[in-house]
Amino acid sequence: MPNRTLNIRISRSAAAYPIHIGTGIVSSLSELALSGLVPAPSRVVVVSNRKVAALYADTAVKSLRRGGLEAHVCLIGDGERFKNLRTAERILQFLGSVRSARTDAVVALGGGVVGDAAGFAASIYLRGVPFIQVPTTLLSMIDSSVGGKTGVNTPFGKNLVGSFYQPQCVVVDAGTLRTLPGREITAGLCEAVKQAAIDGGTLFERTSRFLHDPNRELSGQMVADLIARQIKFKSQIVAGDEREDPLHAGPRSRKVLNFGHTLAHALEKATHYRYLKHGEAVGHGVRFAAALSKNLGLLSSNELNLLNDVVLRAGKLPPIDSIEPEAIFASFKFDKKMIGNELQWILLEGIGKPVIVPHSDIPRDAHRRSLVEIGGRG
Ligand SMILES: NC(=O)c1ccc[n+]([C@@H]2O[C@H](COP(=O)([O-])OP(=O)(O)OC[C@H]3O[C@@H](n4cnc5c(N)ncnc54)[C@H](O)[C@@H]3O)[C@@H](O)[C@H]2O)c1
Ligand SMILES: [Zn+2]
């Protein structure tokens, strides 16, 4: 499959950085991501976890060594519970122990957990060293590796310590999706539907066509096309609102990327982050926000049905009828998407037409009714 490159400019001040999308391109990591860095690095630390490293670190390291670079692999724990300050400190210590210098690079090889933690460490080690993302989950390819948000979880909440730090380059190897478990694919597809619903137009049409295709394959040209379109969308939103300005509340603000996330975070919290993959929770969240939009008279039944159908084609979502509704509603109060003291909902006035609605404008029964409509308990 031909390799393609998107050049993404996130802010006016920073140079554009390339996003390479292809199949089997981890084996060209050195040429794609490191040969152009000025000044040239001499050492690269690849941050990964045991599972992903067993699959792809050898290929990455071989490419780096062929390119004349000294390559080291720093392993971190696998899973959300390792995305914390202790892991960030471990990465920093590793960088120190191999004497990584300011011009040396950090490569994140893995899903969003590796990318967020490694990116955060790269942003503070020696006040910032070159950072390269090699996302290996669908979610990290279309979402977390683009946009420059890095960070870790803390005892007081998820993603509450971090930085905005853009990578020098992103290498998306769709071939790595071949080994990704089915639930992780569904989770990534739900985030793709979320972005498609916000954008509408061709992104919605392409995403829905991909999901309707009985012969869709998850590691070739078709998925690479979808990933490229999804990344373009995310980068356009980020370029217009790099740091999620609290005062930017337009339909193209970074906040709209939180569509489906208020219920998603509530479901994850109510089940102690153990029952649902984040993307699966987003699948339920998209259906909930769409049902709420219809119940408030914003979205037509036709568009609601269209959206529901697309979410269901992303894969089977774990049922939510055993989750206590009060636990869900209680966590709306602690949602991060607050402006001042009030939670803001991202709803739809149509596919491709997000609107921001204050929590106090929504009657409580609309929440209950919408939860029941998506399979929750009344
Ligand atoms: N920075 C951002 O803008 C942003 C945006 C969205 C999500 N996130 C963060 O991303 C994280 C979720 O990322 P995720 O969904 O990629 O989860 P993840 O990083 O936990 O990866 C999911 C699982 O898949 C495994 N895996 C990864 N690639 C594989 C492959 N190719 N083959 C087989 N197994 C593979 C991982 O080891 C892990 O067990 C969350 O922490 C979330 O907060 C960040
Ligand atoms: Zn998400």
For residue range 81-123, list pLDDT tens digits in order: 999 999 999 999 999 999 999 999 999 999 999 999 999 999 9
Is 261's C-beta closer than 6 angstroms to any atom of ligand 1?
Answer: no
At 156 the pLDDT is 84
Is 280's C-beta closer than 6 angstroms to any atom of ligand 1?
Answer: no
> What secondary structure letter does DSSP report for 241?
S
At 337 the pLDDT is 55
Report the nearest atom of ligand 1 relative to the CA of 187.
15
Q: Pick left, alpha or beta for residue 78 (phi over 0 → left; psi -120 to 50 → alpha; otherwise beta).
A: beta
109, 204, 217, 287, 327 from 346: Cα distances, Å:
32, 17, 32, 12, 21
Contact 217, 310 (CB under 8 A): no
Name the closest ligand to CA 263.
2
- Calculate helix-pair angle for 278-295, 182-199, nearest 10 degrees: 30
Is 116's C-beta closer than 6 angstroms to any atom of ligand 1?
Answer: yes
Ligand 1 atom 18 nearest Cα: 111
Name the closest ligand to CA 264.
2
Kindly give the residue spans of alpha helices, DSSP state H, lying in 32-176: 50-66, 85-97, 112-124, 138-139
pTM over 0.75: yes
At 74 the pLDDT is 98
Question: What stretch of H or E contains 338?
Answer: strand 338-339
**Closest listed residue to residue 21, CA positions, set 234, 229, 228:** 228
Ligand 1 atom 34 nearest Cα: 180
At 7 the pLDDT is 78
Report the distance separating Cα 140 and Cα 120, nearest Å.
Answer: 15
| Regions of the chain where pLDDT drops below 70 | 1-2, 11-14, 334-341
Residues in CB range of 136: below 8 A, 6 or more apart: 52, 55, 56, 109, 110, 111, 173, 176, 177, 180
**Closest listed residue to residue 312, CA positions, set 289, 286, 293, 291:** 286
